[in-house]
């Protein structure tokens, strides 16, 4: 009996060693095995293939519920200056605009809109071009329409954000930037809740 | 006393004058071209289009003074570039054409001293090495990682040694028993060879059954699950560098996570939003999971190759082609999952399901994405019920909360564990 217990201990140790040796590395370079591949390898529309990646919507189509298309071309900056915000901006919209600004714009232009975001850090960050200061200097005078135009087409080093932000989101950001700019100080945006920015600018 | 000083002053008037001058003159000379002031002016006025070493909207400014034949002309160019172009200067016109006829903004407000300050700053910057010193932080972590994977082998070896030692001890023990038995005159039975020993055989079968059963069950459960899957991607894109060190929000690239079923793999134009200007990698050293060093700048060059961007010319020179990223998180077709539902209505953080992405150089699958894992979370996670328009139709639950019958609502209570929520 004593012998059996000894053997048991040895067996347990050996099993442990075997399992430990079989333990695969920390990460797998290969996916696991699958059963019923027709469920995993989707026959439906998939990303990543050379043929289907990056397809644009058909020209002239508008997504349901989306704002109507913006027809000005990149060079039409003079006309863009005059475009009015089609949305009626509420206090909630401004808050949403701020949230979107901090995600998509703040990384370069800074959450204080002073052109000193974490990617630039006063010239110390990896981004080598100084982002525009939106609350002082030439850019602080941009109209909402022009801000929207720049977000849509990009300007100098800045790229287009049309693929990340839909038109309504871009207008909300434009309204938020405008509410922070020096000219907007006279009309406190948050206080005049439903008719904050664009309505008064009409 | 006072008179004596004044006499002394009068006597040494000339030398005092020279002393004063020698103090003031170098001061004013420094003031004429002060790189520190130049840096300030440069960052305010020039930096959005120019860099000292890199080509941006405008040319790199290192050696700019040498390129212009006349410093006065350079001053005039900065004050009003159109007037120089109109004068027909060949260098200026070539430059204008090279940069897609983008006119340089006129800076009439900058004085000649300001411009000299800027030029002094550029000269100082020119002398500095490009990119600066690279901090060495990656080696230590890579070493630690290697140790981590070595551990299991170490344990295995230790266990084996212990097993051998135990076997030897058992042998000694049985030999001693036999000797003691012999001494006392007790006849010991002839030892049976171990492969005929029934106890051994039974044990071997038991062990085989256990080990085999363990692997069979684990294998069966693991079929179709890919936890810790970490494929090699076509470009070594480090989430740690982008989302961790540089604090880019997840949604910046994965903008679809709030709008659609898919979080979206960013299209290449989103990469180029930043990488038009960021041409070199200058962060801490990068290593693959195998510990191989990665050249970040070469990886950025791969991106340029995919999109057809010529970093030298600052133009797209050939048609782009998509980067075929390897999909990591994969749900089979019979499971419906929607990102926007979880991030907008459910207000979940990306990290809940994707793990600490900001610490991953290479992304691996954090959760096993099994049904048990989904259901578990749906049973325990509380829905943000108040002030959430999405759940306004659950009137009874709202009433129960008001009556203090329940204090919170889990996903399960709003139907989050019903089959047809995800399988239909």
**pLDDT tier at A53 (50, 70, 90 boundaries)?**
low
Could you tell me if A48 and B265 are in contact, meaning their C-beta atoms sit under 8 angstroms apart? yes
In three-state secondary structure terms, B111 is coil
Could you tell me if A47 and B249 are in contact, meaning their C-beta atoms sit under 8 angstroms apart? no
Quote the pLDDT of residue A190. Answer: 40
Residue A94 has pLDDT above 90, yes or no: yes
Q: pLDDT averaged over chain A?
A: 78
B135 reaches A (C-beta below 8 A):
no
Listed residue (A179, A176, A199, A200) closest to A188, CA to CA = A179
**pLDDT tier at B139 (50, 70, 90 boundaries)?**
very low
Query: What separation in angstroms does the CA of B185 have from each of B172, B173, B238?
Result: 20, 18, 76
Quote the pLDDT of residue B134. Answer: 41
Residue A98 has pLDDT above 90, yes or no: yes
Could you tell me if B80 and B106 are in contact, meaning their C-beta atoms sit under 8 angstroms apart? yes
Listed residue (A90, A93, A128) closest to A108, CA to CA = A128
Residue B19 has pLDDT above 70, yes or no: no
Q: Which residue ranges form the domains of chain A, and what is each CATH number? A: 77-201 (1.10.760.10)
Give the whole-angstrom CA distance, residue A163 versus residue A169.
11
Listed residue (A75, A54, A100) closest to B272, CA to CA = A54
Quote the pLDDT of residue B77. Answer: 80
User: In this structure, what DSSP letter does residue A83 have?
Assistant: P
Question: B211, A158: Cβ pair inside 8 Å?
Answer: no
Query: For the ranges A2-16, A119-133, B179-193, B198-212, which has the lowest average pLDDT?
Result: A2-16
Question: A48, B265: Cβ pair inside 8 Å?
Answer: yes
pLDDT (tens digit per residue) in B256-287: 899 888 888 888 889 999 998 898 898 889 99
Give the whole-angstrom CA distance, residue B404 versus residue B109.
69
Mean pLDDT value of segment A44-52: 59
pLDDT (tens digit per residue) in A111-124: 999 888 888 888 78
B166 reaches A (C-beta below 8 A):
yes
> Could you tell me which residues come within 8 angstroms of residue B371 by beta carbon, excluding any fewer than 6 positions away?
B335
Give the whole-angstrom CA distance, residue A195 versus residue A85.
12
Quote the pLDDT of residue A51. Answer: 59
Structure tokens at B341: 């539902």
| Closest in A15, A115, A119 to B274, CB measured | A119
Query: For the ranges A97-111, A145-159, B17-31, which has the lowest average pLDDT?
Result: B17-31
Query: Quick one: closest CA in A to B208, which residue?
Result: A15
Residues within 8 A of B (CB atoms), A 49-88 only: 49-50, 53-54
> Could you tell me which residues come within 8 angstroms of residue A73 by beta carbon, excluding any fewer than 6 positions away?
none
Q: Which helix (H) or strand (E) holds B148?
A: helix B138-183
Could you tell me if B226 and A31 are in contact, meaning their C-beta atoms sit under 8 angstroms apart? yes
CA distance A202 to chain B (A): 31
């Amino acid at each position: 009996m004593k012998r059996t217990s000894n053997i048991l201990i040895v067996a347990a140790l050996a099993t442990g060693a075997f399992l430990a040796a079989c333990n695969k590395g920390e990460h797998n370079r290969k996916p696991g095995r699958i059963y019923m591949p027709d469920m995993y390898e989707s026959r439906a529309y998939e990303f990543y293939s050379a043929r289907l990646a990056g397809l644009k919507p058909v020209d002239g189509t508008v997504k349901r519920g989306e704002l109507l298309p913006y027809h000005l071309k990149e060079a039409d900056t003079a006309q863009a200056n005059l475009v009015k915000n089609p949305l009626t901006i509420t206090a909630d919209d401004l808050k949403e605009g701020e949230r979107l600004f901090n995600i998509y714009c703040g990384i370069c232009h800074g959450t204080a809109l002073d052109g000193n975001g974490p990617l630039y850090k006063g010239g110390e960050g990896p981004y080598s071009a100084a982002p525009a200061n939106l609350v002082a200097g030439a850019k602080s005078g941009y109209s909402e329409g022009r801000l929207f135009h720049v977000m849509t087409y990009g300007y100098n080093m800045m790229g287009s954000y049309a693929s990340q932000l839909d038109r309504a989101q871009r207008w909300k950001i434009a309204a938020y930037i405008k509410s922070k700019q020096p000219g907007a100080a006279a009309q406190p945006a948050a206080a005049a809740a439903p008719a904050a920015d664009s309505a008064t600018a009409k | 006393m006072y008179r004596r000083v004044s006499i002394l002053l009068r006597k040494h008037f000339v030398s005092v004058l020279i002393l004063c001058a020698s103090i003031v003159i170098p001061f004013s000379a420094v003031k004429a071209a002060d790189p520190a002031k130049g840096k300030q002016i440069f960052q305010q006025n020039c930096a959005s289009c120019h860099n000292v070493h890199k080509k941006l909207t405008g040319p790199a400014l290192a050696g700019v003074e040498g390129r212009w034949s006349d410093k006065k002309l350079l001053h005039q160019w900065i004050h009003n570039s159109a007037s120089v172009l109109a004068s027909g200067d060949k260098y200026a016109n070539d430059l204008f054409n090279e940069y897609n006829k983008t006119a340089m903004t006129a800076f009439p407000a900058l004085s000649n001293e300001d411009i000299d300050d800027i030029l002094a700053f550029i000269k100082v910057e020119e002398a500095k090495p490009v990119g600066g010193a690279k901090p060495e932080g990656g080696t230590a972590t890579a070493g630690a990682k290697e140790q981590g994977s070595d551990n299991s082998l170490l344990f295995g070896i230790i266990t084996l040694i212990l097993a051998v030692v135990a076997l030897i001890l058992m042998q000694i023990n049985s030999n001693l028993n036999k000797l003691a038995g012999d001494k006392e005159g007790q006849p010991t039975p002839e030892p049976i060879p171990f492969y005929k020993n029934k106890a051994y055989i039974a044990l071997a079968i038991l062990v085989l059954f256990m080990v085999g059963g363990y692997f069979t069950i684990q294998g069966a459960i693991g079929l179709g699950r890919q936890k810790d899957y970490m494929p090699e991607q076509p470009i070594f894109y480090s989430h740690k560098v982008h989302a961790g060190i540089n604090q880019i929000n997840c949604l910046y690239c994965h903008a679809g996570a709030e709008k659609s079923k898919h979080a979206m793999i960013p299209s290449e134009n989103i990469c180029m939003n930043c990488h038009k200007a960021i041409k070199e990698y200058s962060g801490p050293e990068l290593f693959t999971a195998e510990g191989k060093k990665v050249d970040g700048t070469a990886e950025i060059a791969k991106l340029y190759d995919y999109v057809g961007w010529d970093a030298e010319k600052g133009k797209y020179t050939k048609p782009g082609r998509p980067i075929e990223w390897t999909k990591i998180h994969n749900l089979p077709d019979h499971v419906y999952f929607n990102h926007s539902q979880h991030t907008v209505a459910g207000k979940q953080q990306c990290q809940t399901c994707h793990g600490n992405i900001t610490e991953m150089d290479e992304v691996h699958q954090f959760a096993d994405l099994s049904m048990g894992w989904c259901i578990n979370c749906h049973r325990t996670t509380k829905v943000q019920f108040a002030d959430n328009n999405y759940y306004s139709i659950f009137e009874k639950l709202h009433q129960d909360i008001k009556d203090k019958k329940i204090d919170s609502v889990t996903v399960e209570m709003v139907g989050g564990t019903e089959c047809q929520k995800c399988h239909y």
